[in-house]
Structure 1
Amino acid sequence: MQTSSLKNLSIPLWGLFIISLLAVLYFAKAIFVPVFLAVLASFILTPAVRLLQKLHIPRTLGSALILGIFSLVIIIAFNLLAEPASMWLDRLPTEIRQIEKKVSLFKDSIENVQETTQKFEEIAAITAPDKQPPQVVIKGPNMLYSLLDSTQSFLLGVLSFAVLLFFLLAFGDSLAHGISSLWNKRSDRAAVIGIARDARAQISSYLLLLTAINLSLGILTALVMWAVDMPNPLVWGASAMILNFIPYLGPAINLGIVALVALLTFDTPARIFLPPLALMGVNMLEGQFVQPLFVGKMFTINPILIFLSVLIWGWLWGMAGVFMAVPLLMIGKIVWDQSMGAA
């Protein structure tokens, strides 16, 4: 397979290429986020479509069935989790007083900081001139316009995701053959098809394994939260499963949320500390033993690269980029390894 002409680019041209690519990804995130999410979902769902093919179900019909089941599971999960999650969000402002009582140990320190801040403000008010320049306030779009705009973007993204996911499940193989036709030599076309096939198989295995591990973690977390008498254990199991797709940062966020809810729910120190400590034990079991045992045998990536990937994709695409950071890094590594092996 011939080396790409990109290898001959000089360092300044590489810099311009990377900057241009980041700019396109940032400003066109409304297009790219549904596309990348659909690609990742297709890697997870393609084995199920192929299983239906072995049962003599046409690929198009099987893709529609799998997409329907996948959508139904998402809708049911959202309905089950939306009510308790919104209940806690509604209760949070009224529960702030309870938090202040339970952390009254730090009350004096907080008051001292407030008094110091007020003194600085008084000094600044004395030294500042009496006349302040007029402030210019630029009014943005009203709340209704913003709500309609965000809702329209969300619905368009969901529709794009669903349609593209169906096409990837139903016609993904023909897409790889179509891309390979861009190469003139037959050996190059065969190499491209081989790289795409092997990369898709490895990525599907990784994502399926990671999803199974996170699902098991969610079930175990829900059982542990139920055992320590935390309210709505299904919510904490679901948050543990979802946030565990974000390395390092996701489990820490979930731990902080559980600690806050435990502080709001229980009165004695033992009961307050028990849920976060139990969750920490479950996370350590998964992170130190389960995931290295299974995932570590398949893929090994430097933790620094993982952290940088989370930062970059999070800056580009927000929370969606954070969730896709590690899978996208894995895809890049697999494609790179396959390309180098075929070169």
Structure 2
Amino acid sequence: MDTGQSTSNQINNTSKLKGVYCSNWLLLLAIIYTLYFAQSLIIPLVLAILIALLLNPLVTNLSKMHIPRAISSVVLLAMLTTPFTIIGVELIEPAQKWAKLIPKLSVHVNEQVESISGAFEEEVKETQKLDSSWFNWFSRSNAPKPKQKPANLVTERIKQGGMELVIDTLGATPIFFAQLLGSAILILFLLIFGPSLFAAFVKELALKEQREKAIHLVEVTQKQLSTYIITASLINLGLGLSTAIALYFIGLEDALLWGVIVAVLNFIPYIGSVIGVVILSMAGMVHFGVTLSAFIPVAAYLLLNIIESQVITPTAMGKKMLINPLVIMLWLLVCGWLWGLAGVLLSVPLLVCIKLVLSELGIWTNWLRVIEAGKQN
């Protein structure tokens, strides 16, 4: 009887473990499904929280000087967004010009590749004729000639792809501006009403230790995340400005546009520099032609990028903010799949925030050691 009861208990325990395991997977799939299909809501919310954490210390200090939070929030947000708006308006015309030139460059490069491949095929045919002339008496019939594809097929496809890209970009523009507007409204509400809401939440906690821990967690996360965002923004601004100056002296048109693109792409670790190399290569070929001079802008950008990534960023960030590169790549892939380009841009600040919260709460220490760089035993 005891053996039967123990066997039934083991079966029950196994079935319970399987049930818990399946429920955990179902919960994970439900979370992924929600994150994927609610991106239009989540992206403005995450962006608003990050910027609110960045501006909240300034608003708090101004409130101590008897300046209302509503006035200081509006002024600070306007000061933050005005430079980006001015630069964006100035760069609309050159961006449109280059957007029209890139498909033409693709067609030009394709024509050159076709001419080179055609010449190579002719050489191969001549060589085959010479080789086969010694063995013509073996052949009994002439082989049919293969049909050649139309020369302009790839060219037309490139033009069609360029038009599709323009149409997709124009279609996504209203959604982009709607998300920006929603983020701005959320930032103002978080800055104005967020502290009182958080104070009411903390007051509802039963234990004093919990209240102190919640306040400490928010303060530390806000301070360190603000330091990270400001430092990374200044580094990327410096890289973009130095790249624009270098490209100006090289003679590449619209150097400011390329500097802004480089600065934005540098928020994406590793992948951003690769995209920057591709974009500057195409820009160099448009301006200088398909020659060795076309790669001078790329060489200047790579030199500045190596100095930034190997010297400036490690020195400014310090070991405390470093994250395992493999974790960053996997996180970029996940955020890019869930939320597209916006998710890629927000992925690293979000990962830094998660790392800080895990570190302060002292939970999931194994995962924290995986995320951190240079601290594995």
TM-score w.r.t. the length of structure 1 is 0.80
The alignment status of 1:77 with 2:82, answered yes or no, reads: no
Aligned partners of 1:326, 1:304: CA distance in 2, in Å? 13
Deviation, structure 1 residue 46:
2.9
Aligned counterpart, 1:125: none
CA distance in 1, matches of 2:41, 2:114: 49
C-alpha separation in 1, matches of 2:316 and 2:354:
20
Whether contact under 8 Å (1:38, 1:165) holds in the other structure is yes
Q: Residues 157-198 of structure 1, C-alpha deviation per residue, up to 9 Å, x if partnerless?
A: 233211101112223322332333453222212211211111
The corresponding residue for 2:339 is 317
Partner of 2:42: 32
Structure 2 Cα separation of the partners of residues 248 and 72 of structure 1: 29
Asked which structure has the greater CA Rg, the reply is 2
Please state whether the residue corresponding to 2:86 is helix, strand or coil.
helix
**Corresponding residue for residue 44 of structure 1:** 54
Separation in 1, partners of 2:360, 2:264: 29
Given that 2:70 and 2:192 are in contact with CA atoms closer than 8 Å, whether structure 1 keeps it comes out as yes
Shift of 1:270: 3.9
Distance in 1 (CA, whole Å) between partners of 2:334 and 2:184 is 26
CA distance change for structure 1 residues 91 and 251 in 2, over 3 Å: closer, same or farther? Answer: same
Report the residue type matching 2:304 in the other structure.
Answer: V
Change over 3 Å in CA distance of 1:16–1:225 after alignment to 2:
same
Q: Does the alignment pair 1:15 with 2:25? A: yes
Whether 1:285 aligns to 2:307 is: yes
Determine if contact 2:202/2:211 at 8 Å carries over to the other structure.
yes
For the 8 Å contact 1:176–1:196, the answer to whether it is kept is: no
Shift of 1:107: 3.1
TM-align CA RMSD: 3.1
Higher RCO, 1 or 2 (CA under 8 Å, sep at least 6)? 1
2:100 maps to 90
Matched with 1:159 is: 181
* Equivalences, count: 308
Contact 2:102 / 2:282 at 8 angstroms: preserved in 1? no
Q: Indicate the residue corresponding to 2:323 in structure 1.
A: 301
Matches within 5 A, 1:1-343: 11-50=21-60, 52-53=62-63, 56-100=66-110, 106-108=116-118, 153-267=175-289, 269-340=291-362
**Conservation of the 8 A alpha-carbon contact between 2:265 and 2:276:** yes
Contact 1:98/1:264, CA 8 A, preserved across alignment: no
Task: Give me the whole-angstrom Cα distance separating, in 1, the residues matched to 2:341 and 2:241.
Answer: 23
Task: Identify the range of structure 1 (158-167 vs 233-242) with the bigger mean alpha-carbon deviation.
Answer: 158-167
Kindly tell me: are residues 281 and 150 of structure 1, through their superposed partners in 2, closer, same or farther at Cα, counting changes over 3 Å? Answer: closer
Give the distance between the partners of 1:213 and 1:52, measured in 2 at CA.
27
CA distance in 1, matches of 2:48, 2:280: 31
SS in 2 for 1:73: helix
Distance 2:170 2:97 in 1: 24
String of CA shifts for 1:211-267, please: whole Å, max 9, x gaps. 111111111111111121111110111011101001111111011100111012114
Paired amino acid for 2:47? L
Q: Write the distance in 1 (CA, Å) between the matches of 2:55 and 2:355.
A: 21
Letter in 2 for 1:190: E
Q: In the TM superposition, what whole-angstrom CA distance separates every residue of 1:138-162 from its partner, at most 9, and x where no partner exists?
A: xxxxxxxx99985664444233211
Distance of 1:192 and 1:215 partners within structure 2: 34
Does structure 1 retain, via aligned residues, the 8 Å contact 2:105–2:285? no
- Quick one: structure 1 residues 148 and 305, their matched pair in 2 at CA, closer, same or farther if it must change by over 3 Å? closer
Q: Distance in 2 between matches of 1:18 and 1:154?
A: 28
Any unmatched runs of 5+ in structure 1?
1-8, 113-117, 123-145
Identity %: 31
SS at the partner of 1:239? helix
**Residue 206 of structure 1 contacts residue 298 of structure 1 at CA under 8 Å; is this kept in 2?**
no
Work out whether residues 43 and 207 of structure 1, in 8 Å CA contact, stay in contact via their aligned partners in 2: no
Offset of 1:44 from its aligned partner? Answer: 2.9
CA distance in 1 between counterparts of 2:147 and 2:323 reads: 49
Distance change (3 Å), C-alpha of 1:93 and 1:190: same
Give the superposition deviation at 1:312.
0.5
Alignment deviations for residues 314-334 of structure 1 (CA, whole Å, 9 cap, x no partner): 111111101111111111000
Q: Give the deviation of 1:87 after TM superposition.
A: 0.4
CA distance in 2, matches of 1:288, 1:120: 53
Show structure 2 runs of 5+ residues with no match. Answer: 1-18, 123-144, 150-167, 366-377
Distance in 2 separating the partners of 1:99 and 1:48: 52
The runs of at least 4 consecutive aligned structure 1 residues that moved more than 6 Å come to: 109-112, 146-149
Structure 2: distance between partners of 1:249 and 1:262 = 20
Secondary structure of the residue that 2:302 maps to in structure 1? helix
Give per-residue Cα distances to partners, 1:284-336, cap 9 Å, x unaligned: 11111111111133312111110111001111111110111111111100000
